[in-house]
Amino acid sequence: MTVSREIRLKNRPVGVPTASDFELASVDLAAPGPGEVQVKNLWMSVDPYMRGRMYDRPSYSPPFELGKAMQGGAIGQIVASHDPDYAVGDIVSSMFGWREAFNLSPKAMAAAGPMGALTKIDTHGLPPQTFLGILGMPGMTAYTGLLRIAALKDGDVVFVSAAAGAVGSIVCQIAKIKGHTVIGSAGGPEKVAFLKSIGVDHVIDYKATPDVVAELAKVAPKGIDVYFENVGGVHLEAAINSARPFARMALCGMISQYNEPGTPTGPANIIQAVGKSLRLEGFIVSNHYDLYPAFVKDMAAWIGAGKLKWEETVEEGIEHAPDAFLKLFSGQNLGKMLVKLA
Ligand SMILES: NC(=O)c1ccc[n+]([C@@H]2O[C@H](COP(=O)([O-])OP(=O)(O)OC[C@H]3O[C@@H](n4cnc5c(N)ncnc54)[C@H](OP(=O)(O)O)[C@@H]3O)[C@@H](O)[C@H]2O)c1
């Protein structure tokens, strides 16, 4: 018998979540049954989209159930196996994060779709948690949003918000690899220094800037062609204000509004989208996995050539997973926010 600790959603948070919205519980895990494997999670991801799953409302991803372990990306290791396709020691990715260990029948779960899948990973010598960050969903989001949704083309000036985070920092670097002028916005001097170290041309510390709209207009006097939207609110207003005709905006996320749906009511200047012929297009990365082979090929080449850098902010222990999640909303992560479980 193995004891696995897990984090359950206790209340549906109102406004900014607090530690009291989560509870730590323990479950006894029996030895895996016929056809089952047992997975010990090594790392789990906390992601901004999880805030959306805390509301009880229809969305592209179903609500978390109260009193049950939450879900999310995790990288684990097979510790017992009754499935010939999985050997003890194999590294696997799953959506069964927020817990230390679990049993699962890979064949039975394959029918449940991607949320139930257990995928073996060849790490190619990279740390396994890389597959929750630069080589995982956030990296794929950056690649998809910039190259497919915003349709980056030669000469574009690119503006990125939440630029020092998991997605934003990869967007900035792909744009730099492709020779673009990049403007990044992030909060605080440490993030500004990091963005300069990865070659971002102009960095806006939005927390030290009274007027983000005016600041973007100042650092991009000829305007921007692409906006990679992670934040919403005044950042979107700034991007619209500085957009050149036919600019494209990849609407990836709007974290400033996740805790207060409906606010702000703007952007107040959205009418400019008409006269400037702007294209604003939202996307969810899971709809774009046909790009995955191209993503892996390009990322492997860029990482191999030393052209991509990444940062991780790590909390240790399942009991600290809620803290890690909450820190996303106060910007206490540089690069990918992760929880180390073993
Ligand atoms: N569409 C998709 O399929 C998809 C997939 C993955 C992620 N996303 C979205 O992409 C965005 C980035 O996700 P991520 O995983 O890379 O997270 P992240 O950027 O690593 O972490 C979130 C960052 O957001 C910034 N932030 C938080 N509250 C803010 C506020 N009120 N105003 C301005 N900035 C704020 C913080 O940075 P500062 O210190 O700079 O404030 C924080 O570090 C999120 O909007 C997320 O929902 C979308």
Gap between the Cα atoms of 25 and 322, Å rounded = 13
- Over range 319-334, report the average pLDDT: 98
For residue 304, which phi and psi values (nearest 5 degrees)? -60, -35
pLDDT at residue 270 above 70?
yes
166 CB less than 6 Å from ligand 1? Answer: yes
**Averaged pLDDT score across all residues of the chain:** 96
- pLDDT at residue number 110: 73
Query: Ligand 1 centre and the CA of 334: distance in Å?
Result: 11
With cut-offs at 50, 70 and 90, classify the pLDDT of residue 241: very high
> Tell me: the pLDDT tens digits for 159-203?
999 999 999 999 999 999 999 999 999 999 999 999 999 999 999
Q: Give me the residue spans of the domains in the chain.
A: 2-133+311-340, 137-286
Fold entry, domain 137-286? Rossmann fold (3.40.50)
Q: Which of 16-25, 157-166, 255-264, 283-292 has the lowest mean pLDDT?
A: 255-264
Q: Closest Cα to residue 313, out of 301, 296, 327, 329?
A: 327
Share of the chain above pLDDT 90, in %: 93
Determine the residue of 148, 159, 216, 255 to mutate for testing ligand 1's pocket, defined as the one with the most ligand atoms within 8 A of the Cβ atom.
255
Q: What is the assigned CATH class of domain 2-133+311-340?
A: alpha beta
Rg over alpha carbons for the chain, rounded to the nearest Å, is: 21
